[in-house]
Chain A
Amino acid sequence: MIAQSMTPTLLTQLNALTGGLFLLSTFGVIAMRQVLGCLKMFILQSLFLASSALLLSYYHSSLHLLAVAAITLVVKPLLIPYLLRRTVGDKVTSRREISQVLNIPTSLLIAAGLTIFAYFIAKPLIAYSGAGGIIIGVNLPIGISALLLGAYALTVRREAVPQTIGILSMENGAFFAGISIASNLPFIAELSAAFDALIIALVMGILIRKIHERVGSTSVGEMKTLREV
């Protein structure tokens, strides 16, 4: 009896913990200076996404969330970083200093503001959630803030690889919020979302490599004009 009444609270706390660490690793994507550090933070974020899917599958006892967790685990922390590193090449990924529009303390403080904003815009949405409120109340704002933070990373970074990681972490945030509010999403949609991210990573990686070969740098912030050959 006690075990049964304890399990849901422990489970919701673990879910909230995964959410908190997910949020922290999203901040990490913004805070990191090195390209590889950025990528490592993205890997961490994807691992937390996968473990959140695992916890939710246990909570709803749904098999296809388990499949989602497995796909996420294979695609995001393993396949995407591998593909990015293979296609982009070591010359770009081993860069230590990457340029930003704002310095890191300022952009982190703005990111904190964005997170608070995400909590406020999620509040009216949570009010509509019925039964699963305790999970949605935690996961939806964190997902929205990861979405906003990814978009923010996309705007402040000037280099192509961190921008790609920004897009991918945006996608992670949307996914994180998505599996919490719609646990019965058609399986095919989730499968396609996962492969979409894979294709994004592949295409961007090849594009970055081409840009690097042509121009000699990947700081797309400075490429403003078209040049005729």
Chain B
Amino acid sequence: MNNKILFNLLQVMVVMAFSPLVKGVVDRLKELVQSRCGPSIFQPYLDIWKLFHKDEVVSEQSSWIFRFTPYMVFVTPIFVTLLIPVLTDYPLFFAFMGDMLGAGFILALGGFFATLSAVDTGNPYGPMGSSRTRMVGLLAEPVFMTVFFTVSFVAGSTIPYIVQKVWIMPLSNFFEPSHILTMIAFIMLIIAETGRIPVDNPSGHFELAMIDESKGLEYSGRGAALMKWGGSMKFFVLVSIFLNVLVTPWGLAQGNNLGEVLLAVPLILLKIFAFIIVLVVIESSFAKLRLFRIPEFLVAAFITSVAAMITRFL
């Protein structure tokens, strides 16, 4: 029992510690593909460190929501981390507090507060970007639901720890069409939800074209650091749900001792690195879609998830 609580907290520590590294590696790899040198992979840590030591400027016109949001954005991925398998194969202490739908709701809560705070300050770019984010989120919702229902119906459960075992027992289940199609749909979902290239350019600095980044424009100092850190944790959490529940549930700790759990840390980082390479290839080979083409991208994801459902149940 004590071990399970310990591992659960360790899981949170791992996500907090390594999520900026993942962001740094993505940025570096993208720059390398564009044959530029790129910042160090530890740059996000330095950014967060710098921002924590700067003064914070808060608009007089803003309400408590603006001050409260960074903490919300920072805390919600941590709550989700308690629910999902990051390091271990077996359910940990908080695993049964919520299922995958609950995790989706918690992440959506952070997004909701980010939207409110963007509207709060009266900066013209904030509401524009946040309404675009809402549009993308609204269209991504049916994909998430269909993927979620397909996966949990196949497994007969909505707890991610139970779902992950279904696809590899026996191994031929891995090649099931609904599994592969669900994977494709979920990759498209991650791209849309975390603002990656066919949908949004995460490294763009032009306010009129921003979708996801414009929510944090007004923040400075500690608030900005928490928003950045929370954003990279959200990415880490979504990727580890994708990898550990849907794609490769191998390499997770099965035993109950600390050594095995610690060994799972480099393995999950390795898997995420492999995923990042795929993501960088996707990001480098497509152009950013125009705003009104985004529904087409998400409808394609929806159709993929529906095809996964059809091939399984009809």
The interface stretch among B155-163, B176-184, B238-246 is B176-184
Q: Kindly provide the distance from the CB of B246 to the nearest chain A CB, expressed in whole angstroms.
A: 15
Binds A, one of B56-64, B117-125, B293-301: B293-301
The distance from the CB of B96 to the nearest CB of chain A, in whole angstroms, is: 31
Of B86-94, B100-108, B303-311, which binds chain A? Answer: B303-311
Asked if B170 CB lies within 8 Å of chain A CBs, one says yes
Task: State A138–B313 Cα separation when bound (angstroms).
Answer: 11
A-chain residues with CB within 8 Å of residue B311 when the two chains form the complex: 16, 19-20, 23, 138, 142
Is A24 a contact partner of B310 (Cβ separation < 8 A)?
no
Q: Is the CB of B177 within 8 A of A31?
A: no
Cβ of B314 and Cβ of A116 under 8 Å apart?
A: yes
Interface of A is mostly: helix
A141 and B180 CA atoms in complex are apart in Å by 19
Q: Is the CB of A23 within 8 A of B307?
A: yes
> Does B34 belong to the interface (CB within 8 Å)?
no
Q: Closest residue of chain A to B298, judged by CB?
A: A105
Does residue B206 face the partner (Cβ distance < 8 Å to A)?
no
Checking A20, A27, A108 against B178 with a beta-carbon cut-off of 8 angstroms, the contacting residue is A20
Are A108 and B303 in contact, with the CB atoms below 8 A?
A: yes
- The answer to whether A16 and B176 have CB atoms under 8 Å apart is yes
Q: Residues of B contacting A141 with CB < 8 Å?
A: 314
Is residue A203 contacting chain B, with contact meaning CB distance below 8 A?
Answer: no
Residue of A10, A115, A119, A138 near B175 (CB, 8 A) is A10
Identify which of A6, A10, A27, A105 gathers the most chain B CB atoms within 10 Å of its CB.
A105
Nearest CB in chain A: distance from B99 CB, A: 26
A141-B60 Cα distance, complex, nearest whole Å: 63
* Inter-subunit contact B296/A24 (CB<8 Å): no
Report yes or no: A31 in contact with B307, Cβ–Cβ below 8 A: no
Q: Does B257 reach chain A (CB closer than 8 Å)?
A: no
Contact with A along B274-312 (1 / 0, CB 8 A): 000000000000000000000110011011101110110
Per-residue CB contact flags for chain A residues 102-140 toward chain B (1 = under 8 Å, else 0) read: 001100110110011001100000000000000000100
Say which residue of A10, A111, A112 sits within 8 Å of B172 (CB atoms).
A10
A115 touches B172 (CB 8 A): no
Q: How far is the CB of A17 from chain B (nearest CB, A)?
A: 5
Chain A window 1-22, contacts with chain B (Cβ cutoff 8 Å), 1 for yes, 0 for no = 0000010011001101101110
Question: Nearest CB to that of B177 among chain A residues?
Answer: A20
CB neighbours (8 Å) of A14 from chain B are 175
**B3 sits at the interface (CB 8 A):** no
Q: Which residue of A lies closest to B184 (CB)?
A: A24
Q: CA of A27 to CA of B184 in the docked complex: distance in angstroms?
A: 14
Say yes or no: A24 contacts B181, CB within 8 Å.
yes
Interface size in chain B (residues, C-beta < 8 A): 24
Please indicate the chain A residues that have their CB under 8 angstroms from the CB of B173 in the complex.
Answer: 13
User: Which of the four size classes fits the interface of chain A?
Assistant: 20 to 34
Contacts of B175 in A (CB 8 A): 10, 13-14, 16-17
Closest Cβ of chain B to A157, distance in Å, is 16
For A116, list chain B residues within 8 Å (CB).
310, 314
Query: Considering the chains assembled together, what is the distance between the CA atoms of A156 and B178 in angstroms?
Result: 28
From known contacts A10-B172, A105-B296, A115-B310, infer whether A19 and B303 are also in contact, taking CB-CB under 8 Å: no
For B177, the chain A residues whose CB sits under 8 A away are 16-17, 19-21
CB distance from B168 to the nearest CB of A (A): 12
Which of B171, B180, B296, B300 contacts A20 (CB under 8 A)?
Answer: B180
Q: Which residues of A contact B306 (CB under 8 A)?
A: 112, 115
Which chain B residue shows the least CB distance to A12? B172
- Contact status of A112 and B303, CB under 8 A, knowing A9-B172, A141-B314: yes
* In the complex, chain A residues whose CB is within 8 Å of the CB of B296: 31, 104-105
Closest to B176 in A: A13
User: Which residue of the partner chain A has the closest CB to B314?
Assistant: A119
Does B300 lie within 8 Å of A108, measured CB to CB? yes
Cβ–Cβ < 8 Å partners of A105 in chain B: 295-296, 299
Give CA–CA (A14, B179) in the complex, Å. 12
Give A19 to B308 CA distance when docked, in angstroms.
11
Most buried by B among A13, A21, A116, A141: A13
Name B residues whose Cβ lies closer than 8 Å to a Cβ of A.
170-173, 175-178, 180-181, 184, 295-296, 299-300, 302-304, 306-308, 310-311, 314
Q: List 5 A-B contacts (CB under 8 A).
A: A20-B177, A23-B307, A105-B299, A112-B307, A112-B310
Beyond the given A13-B175, A24-B181, A108-B300, please list 5 additional residue pairs across the A-B interface where CB-CB is below 8 A: A17-B177, A104-B299, A108-B302, A112-B307, A120-B314
Nearest 6 CB-CB pairings of A with B? A20-B177, A119-B314, A105-B299, A10-B172, A13-B175, A13-B172
